[in-house]
Amino acid sequence: MAYLINEQIDTKNTTKPLISVENVSKKFCRNLKHSLKYGVQDIITEIVGKNRNSQKLRKGEFWALENINLQLQPGEALGLVGANGAGKTTLLRLISGLIKPDTGCIRVRGRVGPLIALGAGFNPILTGRENIYANMSILGLSTHEITKRLQDVIDFAEIEAAIDAPVQTYSSGMAARLGFACAVHIQPDVLLIDEVLAVGDIKFRMKCYQKLAQLREQGTAFILVAHNPHVVLNVCESSIYLANGNIVTSGNTGDVIRTYEDDLNMVNYSDAESIMYLPAKPESESMGVDVISLCFQNHHGQVIPVLISGEFATLVIKCKAYKNIDNANVGVIISALSGQNERLLYITSASDNALLKIASGVVEIQMQMPYCCLLPGLYSAKIYIKQGVESLDIVQSFRFVVKGNQVTSQSLFYQPHSWKVN
C-alpha cells in the first residue's frame, strides 16, 4: 500500500525530519495504450475499495524508482545526482505530491515549494497577476497572505510592465522567473529544486542564488537536482547518487560525486587506449601540418590514462609537417562534458609569447602543466595549429578524464600553493 502524508510542522521539534521517504517505488508504462488501460483499471480498483497489486510489473511497465529511502532534516541541503532517466525528477514529483507512489510511504512536514518545470502550471489565458494568486494559493497561502507579498513577487520576477498581460504573451524566461518568484515567496519549509537555476540572465541567476542563501539561513531545507556537479558540491553537504531508479550510494557529497563521475567517465581503461590517433592525410590535402596523435604523459615521458588534480602532466601533440613553419600558434580550448559543457580554459602559445617553430618531419609539441588545475570530471579539448590567421589543422574533440582526491573535492579548481610561518 502506498501513502503520501502531509503533516503540519511543529516548530518546537527541530529533530524530526521534514521529509521521510520509506521504501518508495514508482512504475511507469512506455506504451500509451497500455498506460491508459492500466490507469482506468487502477481507478476502478480504488473506487470499489480493492487493493491493487502495485508490487508487480504489468506488460510494458518498468520501475522508474525502486525501494527508495531518504530523510531531509530542517536546514539540510541534499543533492540528487545521476544521469538522465535515473529517477531524480520523478522523486521530486513524488515528494511534491504531483504524482503518487505505487509502494511505500512519503511523509512531508511543513510547506513545500516545488521549483520543478517553472511556469508549467500557469493558465496561459490568465494574466500574470491572476496566475500569482492561483499558483500561490495552490502552494498553501491565503488570499490575504498573497496580497501582502504580491509586490515582492512582481519586483523579484522583474515583469511589472507585463504583469496584467496574459501569460501566453510571456517569453519562456519571463514565465520561469515568475514561477521561481512565486515558489520562493511562500516562505517554504522545503524547496525542491530541479535544474531551474539557469533561468534568465546572469544578473537574475545571481539574485536567485542570493534568495536561496537567505532562505537557507532562515532554516529552509533543500533537495537540489543539478547535472553540474560543481553546483551540488558548493550547495549540498550530503548527496544521493541515483542510477536506473536505484540508490547507488549516499553520504558526503564529495564522495558521492567522485563515485558518480568515476561511473560516468568510465576511467578503467589501459594506457594504449589513452592515445588518440588521427588518420593521416595525403600531402595534397594537408595545409602543411597535421596532428597525428594526442596523449598526456608524466614526468618520465610515460603515457598516463587519467590526469590527477594537482599533479604534473604534459599534453603531447604529435604532428607530421610537410614544410617548415615559423611562428606557429597552438591553441587548446578545454570544456567540461560532465557539467554544462562550459568553456573552462583557453590557452594559446601566442598569448604566452611562445610562437613555435615546426621543422619538416614528425615532431612533438608539448604543453607542460606543473599542476593540473581541473576538478575531477570528463573534459574535451579542441586543439588547433595556426600560422597567423591561417588554420593548419584542427582536432575538434580530444576527450580525457581527471580524477581527484580529498584536496580538490570541495573546490572549483586546484590552486597550487605552499604554507609558511615567519
Domains of the chain, CATH where assigned: 2-110+189-265 (3.40.50.300), 271-403 (2.70.50.60)
Asked if residue 406 has pLDDT above 60, the reply is: no
Asked if residue 120 has pLDDT above 70, the reply is: no
- Counts of helices then strands in the chain (DSSP H, E): 8, 20
**Closest CA relative to residue 110, chosen from 194, 191, 217, 218:** 191
Q: Region 187-207: what's the mean pLDDT?
A: 75
| Distance separating alpha carbons of residues 110 and 139, to the nearest angstrom | 11
Q: Contact, 159 vs 170, CB < 8 A? A: yes
- pLDDT, greater one: 318 or 378: 318
The whole-number pLDDT of residue 262 equals 67
Residue 341, C-alpha cell as written in the block: 559543457
| Distance separating alpha carbons of residues 388 and 263, to the nearest angstrom | 42
Which of 13-17, 50-54, 297-301, 339-343 is modeled with the greatest confidence?
297-301
The whole-number pLDDT of residue 273 equals 55
Which of 131-140, 167-176, 361-370 is modeled with the greatest confidence?
361-370
pLDDT band at 129 (very low <50, low <70, confident <90, very high): very high
The whole-number pLDDT of residue 379 equals 85
Residue 282's Cβ-count burial label (10 Å; 0-12, 13-18, 19+) is exposed
Percent of the chain topping pLDDT 70: 84
The whole-number pLDDT of residue 30 equals 81
Q: Contact, 170 vs 178, CB < 8 A? A: yes
List pLDDT tens digits, range 350-371: 999 888 999 999 999 999 999 8
| Distance separating alpha carbons of residues 331 and 347, to the nearest angstrom | 6
Q: Contact, 254 vs 409, CB < 8 A? A: yes
| Distance separating alpha carbons of residues 191 and 254, to the nearest angstrom | 22
- pLDDT, greater one: 281 or 316: 316
- Give the least confident one: 273-287, 318-332, 404-418: 404-418
The whole-number pLDDT of residue 264 equals 66
Contacts of 68 (CB under 8 A, 6+ apart): 21, 23, 24, 25, 87, 91, 104, 246, 247
Percent of the chain topping pLDDT 90: 31
Q: Region 113-138: what's the mean pLDDT?
A: 83
DSSP 3-state assignment of 291? strand
The whole-number pLDDT of residue 22 equals 92
Asked if residue 3 has pLDDT above 60, the reply is: no
The whole-number pLDDT of residue 271 equals 41
| Alpha-helical regions (H) of 167-252 | 172-184, 202-217, 229-235
pLDDT band at 225 (very low <50, low <70, confident <90, very high): confident
The whole-number pLDDT of residue 54 equals 72
| Distance separating alpha carbons of residues 408 and 73, to the nearest angstrom | 27
Per-residue buried b or exposed e for 184-222, using 16+ beta carbons within 10 Å of the residue's own CB: bbbebbbbbbbbbbebbeeebeebbeeebeebbeeebbb
List pLDDT tens digits, range 49-67: 677 667 778 888 888 899 9
Residue type, 176: A
Asked if residue 276 has pLDDT above 80, the reply is: yes
CA 401 to chain CA centroid, Å, is: 18
Beta strands 313-321; 307-308: pairing state: unpaired
| Distance separating alpha carbons of residues 175 and 118, to the nearest angstrom | 7
- Give the least confident one: 9-18, 46-55, 203-212: 9-18
The whole-number pLDDT of residue 269 equals 38
The whole-number pLDDT of residue 290 equals 92
- Give the least confident one: 14-23, 197-206, 245-254, 348-357: 197-206
Q: Region 368-385: what's the mean pLDDT?
A: 87
